[in-house]
Amino acid sequence: MQGIRGFLSSRVRIRGLVAPRLRRSTRRAQVRNGRSLGWEKVALCYATILGIPTILYYYLRLSGSELLPLHAVVASFYLLTALMIIAETTLALCRRFAGPTTLPRSRAEALAQLLKGVLGWRGARLPDTERPLPRSTLIVVAFLPNEQDIIIETLEHALNWIRRPRDGLEVILAYNTPIHLPVERELDELRERHPNLRLLRVEGSESKAENLNAALEIVTGEITGILDADHLPRPDCLERAWRWLESDYDVVQGRSIIRNFDTNLETRCIGVEFECMYGVSHPARSLLVDTGIFGGSNGFWRTEVLREIRFDPGMMTEDIDASMRALLRGYRIVADRSIVSTELAACDFRSFWFQRKRWAQGWLEVSLKHQRGVWRSRHLGLRQKLYWTYLLGFRELYPLVSLQVFPIVFSLLFYQGFMPWFAHWYLWISAVVTLLSGPYQTAVAARNAVTGLRARDAVGYAFFVLPYVMLKHMVWVVALYDHLLRNTDWVVTRRQISEDLRLKAEKNGLLSDLQRVCNAVRNGGHSRLRRQRAAAR
């Protein structure tokens, strides 16, 4: 959630109080209008990554060089990734959730539980907590020019539907906005009706991380949940999270599902992808090596741990960076797919492109920053170190190496004029396993889906998963290009402005300001430029 540079002052206001000036970790930059997707960068990157290797491999073939070892390396990357997907998916067939132990209802179920226990696949089922749920805080983070049309619904849901602890539930809206908006009057009225709602306008903020850090100064709960402005968690989210937090875990990551699933083809694709991610990969990660990731929303922390870790505004994915710093300090993260929250997916390709480019560039930053620390850590076991190497270093190499299959095939076509049907057995096995892993993961994700996936959507995604992965590789290539050029611009994931909101703005004489800000969000890039730590180096 980003503020527009140049409009904001430098204080935090809450109910008339003034907090100290925010510490800056980035430098201000003007919003740039007319932001394009950067197809020229895509063409340049692919000409470099695919075109040059194709020419090189072609001339190696002409010289009589054997390229089978190169084939085998590329195939091994595909095979290892596919085997990890299959392993995670198989583990995800076991449930891991915070709930009481239940007795088997049949002999078959008892035998299945026994077999899972012998194989080490049984999901952990925690007993009832010894302490009641303590006082809790929910921080809702928003950039209001972009999310003013949905923020009231989110807050009313949190205030009215989430079950409260005996000692109370505190809801903090930490937001930034370059201008006063009509929705702020509605927020004041909502606060009057709900004394446990605190409105924190973080002036001077340029990031979600700064909004969160400001909110941490006033949090009073023993546990703190973090929600993006479009998240609607289920009523029992705090109770389920507390079972883990009382049982020696420090962070609990819940499950996100897409509630605007049926909007268009893009949202349906993202919806199935999220079921694969939050319903399969994340819980399997906890089962496999007892580790996890805080995904930025629908996550619950021990407040004392969160205050120690905080968020780095200089990172493009401050949530993943915070996860790594927590793990390297010995804190434990678990994923519980029964803690469900719904969110809104990007509805147009442009928003999808910039969102995924930021994710890709942010993961690259985190990998470069923390990979060495993973192997030096005294708090991670060998299996965890290997797995995090797979998630960080290997994950960043995979798109670059996997794309080499195209130069290899193109050079062979130029050299022989056709593609041979017979190849080394290892190449065929890796190809078959890779092609099967995606549909297998999708099938299990559909089985574990909270709301149920239509068969046509699951089948369509299973067949579409390979080109979809290649599209994400294209995004990664551009993210790498931008990172090498130290281009850290990014664009807010855009929300639609409703007609009702336009009428309210026009009635209050703020329509021109609203349109100006929303157009800036729509067309502008938000820059996180030079980091202070980079300058120090």
Model pLDDT for residues 260-312, shown as the tens digit of each residue: 998 888 999 999 999 999 999 999 999 889 999 999 999 999 999 999 999 99
DSSP letter for each residue of 524-536? PBEE----HHHHH
Q: Which of 67-71, 95-99, 195-199, 333-337 has the lowest mean pLDDT?
A: 95-99
- Per-residue pLDDT at 498 exceeds 80: no
Model confidence at 82, pLDDT cuts 50, 70, 90, reads very high
The C-alpha atoms of residue 488 and residue 287 are separated, in whole angstroms, by 35
Model pLDDT for residues 330-381, shown as the tens digit of each residue: 999 999 999 999 999 998 888 899 899 999 999 999 999 999 999 999 999 9
The C-alpha atoms of residue 49 and residue 55 are separated, in whole angstroms, by 11
**Residue 14: its H or E element:** strand 12-14
Given this model, what pLDDT does residue 12 score?
A: 47
Q: Give me the mean pLDDT over the 38-66 stretch.
A: 87
Given this model, what pLDDT does residue 3 score?
A: 37
- Per-residue pLDDT at 26 exceeds 60: no
Between helices 265-276 and 425-448, what is the axis angle to 10°?
Answer: 100
Model confidence at 492, pLDDT cuts 50, 70, 90, reads low
- Per-residue pLDDT at 419 exceeds 70: yes
E strands present in 389-481? none
Given this model, what pLDDT does residue 42 score?
A: 80
- Per-residue pLDDT at 118 exceeds 70: no
Domain ranges, ordered by start, for the chain? 64-97+242-288+316-494
Contact criterion met (CB below 8 Å) for 149 and 495: yes
- Per-residue pLDDT at 531 exceeds 80: no
Residue 348 neighbours by CB under 8 Å, 6+ apart: 266, 494
Model pLDDT for residues 500-519, shown as the tens digit of each residue: 545 555 555 555 554 554 55
- Per-residue pLDDT at 414 exceeds 80: yes
CB-facing half-sphere around the CA of 409: CA atoms within 13 A: 10
Given this model, what pLDDT does residue 81 score?
A: 95
Given this model, what pLDDT does residue 515 score?
A: 52
Tokens read off for 103:
């007795």
Model pLDDT for residues 186-217, shown as the tens digit of each residue: 999 999 999 999 999 998 888 899 999 999 99
Given this model, what pLDDT does residue 162 score?
A: 95
Mean pLDDT over each residue of the chain, to the nearest integer: 82
The C-alpha atoms of residue 361 and residue 351 are separated, in whole angstroms, by 15
Q: Exposed, middle or buried, 422 (CB in 10 Å: 0-12/13-18/19+)?
A: exposed
Distances (CA, A) of 436 to 76, 178, 281, 509: 15, 49, 16, 58
The 3-state DSSP composition of the chain as helix, strand, coil percent (nearest 5) reads 55, 10, 35
pTM, two decimal places: 0.82
Q: Give me the mean pLDDT over the 109-134 stretch.
A: 69
Contact criterion met (CB below 8 Å) for 86 and 438: no
Distances (CA, A) of 23 to 277, 282, 308: 35, 33, 16
Model pLDDT for residues 223-273, shown as the tens digit of each residue: 999 999 999 999 999 999 999 999 889 999 999 999 999 888 899 999 999
The C-alpha atoms of residue 55 and residue 58 are separated, in whole angstroms, by 5
Find how far residue 225's CA is from the centre of its chain. Answer: 16
| Count of CB atoms situated within 10 Å of the CB of 335 | 26
The percent of residues in the chain predicted with pLDDT above 90, rounded, is 52
**Residues found in the chain:** 537
Tokens read off for 162:
């989430």
The C-alpha atoms of residue 439 and residue 451 are separated, in whole angstroms, by 19
User: CA geometry: angle at 141 spanning 137 and 146, to 5°?
Assistant: 155
Model pLDDT for residues 374-392, shown as the tens digit of each residue: 999 999 999 999 999 999 9
